[in-house]
Amino acid sequence: MCLAIPGKIVEISDTDRNSASVDVLGVRRRVDLGLLEDDKPVTGDWVLIHVGFAMSKISEQDAIDQMRTLAMLGETEAALQEVQGYGLHDRDDKRPGEQPEASATSQAE
């Protein structure tokens, strides 16, 4: 579904202001801030992430609520799998058949 994943901004890249390191349940991945142009988050802010892009700034309490929602919906694993998939892990150079198989989790809404 529209898997909205809460994450905390740990670091914003010096070279690319749209690229942030975000912590999601202990997993750190690059998340794009390009869609929060009007209301740029800073380090320590919480954001809701869709398909690798921060879509809205939220409060810490909302982030906790959202994590609980994901757990209730049984989607914590899917969310972690999605976040772990961001950035590809150098899978780019591998030929088909060699890539780690990801199951079909729902992302697009």
Partner 1 sequence: MRFVDEFREPELINKAADEIRRLMDPARHYRLMEVCGGHTHAIYRFGLKDVLPPNIELIHGPGCPVCVLPMGRIDDGLSMAADPDVIFTAFGDMMRVPGTQGSPLEHKARGMDVRIVYSPSDALKIAKANPARHVMFFAIGFETTAPSTALILMRAKAQGLKNFSVFCNHVTIIPAIRAILDSPDMRLDGFVGPGHVSTVIGCRPYEWIATNQSKPIVVSGFEPLDILQSILMLLQQLRKGEARVENQYKRVVPWEGNRAALKAMAEVFQLRPYFEWRGLGFISQSALRIRDEYAEWDAEQRFRIPGIRVTDPKAAQCGEVLKGVLKPAQCKLFGNECTPEHPIGALMVSSEGSCAAFYNYEHRKTAALVGLSSVANLSSSA
Binding-site ranges for partner 1 (CB under 8 A): 1-2, 4, 32, 34-39, 48, 50-53, 55-56, 58-59, 62, 65-66, 68-69, 72-74, 82-83, 85-88, 91-93, 95-97, 99, 102-109
Closest CB to partner 1 among residues 43, 59: 59
Residues in the chain: 109
At 84, list the tokens.
Answer: 């772990």
Closest CB to partner 1 among residues 43, 99: 99
What does DSSP say about strands 5-12 and 46-50: parallel, antiparallel, or unpaired? antiparallel
Nearest to 48 by CA among 61, 34, 58: 58
